Amino acid sequence: MKQDKKIPYKIYLEEQEMPKKWYNVRADMKVKPAPLLNPGTLQPMTAEELGAVFCDELVQQELDNDNAYIDIPQEILDFYKMYRPAPLVRAYCLEEKLQTPAKIYYKFEGNNTSGSHKLNSAIAQAYYAKKQGLKGVTTETGAGQWGTALSMACAYLGLDCEVYMVKVSYEQKPFRREVMRTYGASVTPSPSTTTEIGKKILAEHPGTTGSLGCAISEAVEAAVSKEGYRYVLGSVLNQVLLHQSIIGMETKAALDKYGIEPDIIIGCAGGGSNLGGLISPFMGEKLRGEKDYQIIAVEPASCPSLTRGKFAYDFCDTGMVTPLAKMYTLGSGFIPSPNHAGGLRYHGMSPVVSQLYHDGLMEARAVEQTAVFEAAEQFARIEGILPAPESSHAIRVAIDEALKCKETGEEKTIVFGLTGTGYFDMVAYEKFNNGVMSDYIPTDEDLQIGFNGLPDVPEK
Amino acid sequence: MKQDKKIPYKIYLEEQEMPKKWYNVRADMKVKPAPLLNPGTLQPMTAEELGAVFCDELVQQELDNDNAYIDIPQEILDFYKMYRPAPLVRAYCLEEKLQTPAKIYYKFEGNNTSGSHKLNSAIAQAYYAKKQGLKGVTTETGAGQWGTALSMACAYLGLDCEVYMVKVSYEQKPFRREVMRTYGASVTPSPSTTTEIGKKILAEHPGTTGSLGCAISEAVEAAVSKEGYRYVLGSVLNQVLLHQSIIGMETKAALDKYGIEPDIIIGCAGGGSNLGGLISPFMGEKLRGEKDYQIIAVEPASCPSLTRGKFAYDFCDTGMVTPLAKMYTLGSGFIPSPNHAGGLRYHGMSPVVSQLYHDGLMEARAVEQTAVFEAAEQFARIEGILPAPESSHAIRVAIDEALKCKETGEEKTIVFGLTGTGYFDMVAYEKFNNGVMSDYIPTDEDLQIGFNGLPDVPEK
């Protein structure tokens, strides 16, 4: 392996070098993300209205478009020390294998039991719930990374944790379910008969195996109908991107420590939590005109919210009980084909990421899943880490960009987010190993069904 | 969390501080481990005889009782950089929860896709096979950690990898199997019809779900009956302990860096690879009379080779095709109760560890599995990491010792090996979560069956 003697294989920040503040990219955005709207009045949600669903301090963070830096409470910094700093890895082996002049780095967020970056926001949301004296929190989970992360955070703080898990995942991913139970969470398959909306969905679609949008509706209802509970969400929201900025802050600190300047920054995008967090401080520099970077969001061709969605107000859930968010969306009724194996199956995209994309500050690419798993397998064999299917979307484009450099001879520096590990995704890998994985790209007609369900919100 | 400002939560060595040599504890042992014997002649195995099964350079390492330090080849050092250094973690949260004056540290070897320390020896063995110009290697795997580790090492080096996987694990742990396949290994359920010994075992026990001893027999046969292949083994052997000494070397370097002196060192023990590796440099100091440490091997009460086995020559496999090793053994015909959920199910123990234990240089404790899973769950909730059942044996005794300190007020420093993660062991956790896990301690009569099968080797 050829190694630049000045740059270690893995860059770990020292404990005292770890960031102590989150960075709020909204403060530097000229066009702010549109506010959440009350679906009844179509007026911006007030702090009071949001406070019925979310913890008070998280509501403040959700609405704060002004403060660029927010101190991370000491208790959260302590928890971060349990699994952070995450290493910034120089992919020397991958570079050698690809014979590219590009320099490739990845920020690896999978070295914790949740297997992903989700823990960064889970501990923050659980902490504020605890601080407010609440008994517990409710949430939904699909593949289970977010539910696991929240279970871990709640176990650490002694909070009750109720997880509504998409039924198909509950049944097909029993191991994820058991990890959450080991951390003391109660896990309910969704749709369930424990909520009104669950009963309604079951009555309308008796055989349904659930969806993330469904599970959100149930978790919100469970939170607002009980004393001492609030709802928490693992992606999409402004507050989540704020917490996830720790990824970007650490990445930037590690790069700065070794004088490395990235040219391209790549992240996979489902609801936008990892991508938004990774790019935040770099986007800040770009917004302030200090630096320029090529920033690429990568999404599945089977759930292409940025590349083929509409920039419009939409519900965040299937049951239409949440506020409306202005985002790139496929419609809250959109459900990805069962053929789709990886994550990143949410119908919408974080309003912050959506606005930045709309304003031309970043690009988006949609990739097909067999190409994603090819990249995943190649990466696993060369770099050792078995990546999550979600993360492998970013790997795919990082490899593509590195191969372009091979053609042009450019020595670009590429940084991508490796959000997590694929240990609980072996059913998808098995499909790929057995050569029975195929691709699926929705037709315009397929997408129209989701668009038809968009709420009618007049432009201001 | 109360933190000693001088000691970070996690100690990561810098790349340049990583050990560049393995330490061979046999060099400092006054009584050397007994040599492997040819089962036909009962004479010590020669290098030539061993060379039919193992790579030449590994044979040298196997027989080398003299050289204390062996340079780690640069290619292996490069691979180690992909997932090492492993962090030495100060268990501040666990200490606080237990309210113990003890200081607890653990060396965490689970931050890699194999999920355990096994990769440390897998890359070494694959490297020497490659260097010798071989086409590939064969091996066995039970739970799958070793097979995964070897698959990863072989994928990296471009070697063929054939894994015989205990049939019950092959069927019940399809995800482990798929990880190995993703890394390009061929995985065969054992016993199989691809070997003579497999056919013989199947004829004698038609319904058998296999055992590690069986799979070893098949893998050895597959290696010796093909041109360009050798057999590799993930534990027990002297060479494996040598490679695993990287665990202890790093641990000692990290402790020395912060001036920490351990009182107690604890490791789980199946075949002895992790325990032997962790304790090696500390045992060296003890053997040379420079320091004294309390060293504790922890094994399952259901497979108690050290605490209830015989110190005798025995076969390493069920099919009785391997050389004889002098070790603490339950007899090569011993098969742990199906009730036993975790790993550490091998009938024997590394000859090096066996000799050290026999000479009174360390203690051994047997623990029951429900107590082990209680410790695992407590640890997961407090320290965040979901431990492998194997590793949790060490956690159990570390907690027990910390609680003793609470009673006596002693501020002992405890170091234990956290060998890996439990992500592929959720079936066992599910049993525990559902309250249907029970304990099993073999009676003396149960054990006698294994002892009756011990080969008759006259004392010298």
**Per-residue pLDDT at A339:** 77
Taking only the tens place, the pLDDT of each residue in B164-200 is 999 988 988 889 999 999 999 999 999 999 999 999 9
**Per-residue pLDDT at A446:** 94
Is some CB atom of chain A closer than 8 A to the CB atom of B421? yes
**Per-residue pLDDT at B173:** 82
**Per-residue pLDDT at A191:** 94
DSSP B317-340: SSSS-SPEEEEEES-TT----TT-
Instruction: Provide the percentage of residues in chain A whose pLDDT is more than 70.
Output: 100
Instruction: Provide the percentage of residues in chain A whose pLDDT is more than 90.
Output: 88
Residue B103 backbone dihedrals phi, psi, to 5 degrees: -105, 125
Is some CB atom of chain B closer than 8 A to the CB atom of A386? yes
**Per-residue pLDDT at B407:** 98
Q: Is B74 exposed, middle or buried (0-12, 13-18, 19+ CB in 10 A)?
A: exposed
Instruction: Please list every residue in chain A whose beta carbon sits closer than 8 Å to the beta carbon of residue B75.
Output: 1
Residue A197 has pLDDT above 80, yes or no: yes
**Per-residue pLDDT at B343:** 78
Cis upstream peptide for A189 (omega within 30°):
no
- Arithmetic mean of pLDDT, B74-87: 96
Residues of A (182-211) whose Cβ lies below 8 Å from B:
182-184
Helix or strand holding residue A148 (H, E): helix A145-157
Residue of chain B nearest A159, judged by CA positions: B381
**Per-residue pLDDT at B212:** 83
Which of B151, B138, B124 is closest to B229 using CA atoms?
B138
Mutation target vs B (from A13, A113, A383; most B CBs, 10 A cutoff):
A113
Confidence of residue B340 (pLDDT cuts 50, 70, 90): confident
Residues of A (42-101) whose Cβ lies below 8 Å from B:
75, 78, 81-83, 93
Residue B311 has pLDDT above 90, yes or no: yes
**Per-residue pLDDT at B364:** 98
**Per-residue pLDDT at A211:** 82
Q: What is the average pLDDT value for chain B, to the nearest integer?
A: 95
Residue B136, both tokens: 């590939």
Instruction: Please list every residue in chain A whose beta carbon sits closer than 8 Å to the beta carbon of residue B424.
Output: 175, 423
Residue B97 backbone dihedrals phi, psi, to 5 degrees: -65, -40
Q: Which of A91-95, A211-215, B128-132 is the least confident region?
A: A211-215
Which of A400, A367, A359 is closest to A269 using CA atoms?
A367
Residue A425 has pLDDT above 80, yes or no: yes
Residue of chain B nearest A176, judged by CA positions: B426
- Arithmetic mean of pLDDT, A127-139: 98
Residue of chain B nearest A83, judged by CA positions: B384
Looking at CA atoms only, how far is residue A178 from chain B in angstroms? 6
**Per-residue pLDDT at B2:** 81
**What is the rounded distance in angstroms from the CA atom of residue B31 to the CA atom of residue B460?**
15
Taking only the tens place, the pLDDT of each residue in A273-284 is 999 999 999 999
Taking only the tens place, the pLDDT of each residue in B224-249 is 999 999 999 999 999 999 999 999 99
Residue B339 has pLDDT above 90, yes or no: no
Taking only the tens place, the pLDDT of each residue in B106-152 is 999 999 999 999 999 999 999 999 999 999 999 999 889 999 999 99
Q: What is the average pLDDT value for chain A, to the nearest integer?
A: 95
Taking only the tens place, the pLDDT of each residue in A305-359 is 999 999 999 999 888 889 999 999 999 988 878 777 777 888 999 999 999 999 9
- Arithmetic mean of pLDDT, B415-437: 95
Asked whether the beta carbons of residue A429 and residue B182 sit closer than 8 angstroms, the reply is yes
* pTM strictly above 0.80: yes
Residue A78 has pLDDT above 80, yes or no: yes
Cβ(B318)–Cβ(B221) under 8 Å?
A: no
Asked whether the beta carbons of residue B12 and residue A12 sit closer than 8 angstroms, the reply is yes
Instruction: Please list every residue in chain B whose beta carbon sits closer than 8 Å to the beta carbon of residue A93.
Output: 82, 156
Residue A74 has pLDDT above 90, yes or no: yes
**What is the rounded distance in angstroms from the CA atom of residue A330 to the CA atom of residue B196?**
59
Asked whether the beta carbons of residue A426 and residue B179 sit closer than 8 angstroms, the reply is yes
Instruction: Please list every residue in chain A whose beta carbon sits closer than 8 Å to the beta carbon of residue B430.
Output: 174, 178, 181
- Arithmetic mean of pLDDT, B37-47: 96
**Per-residue pLDDT at B169:** 86
Residue B37 has pLDDT above 80, yes or no: yes
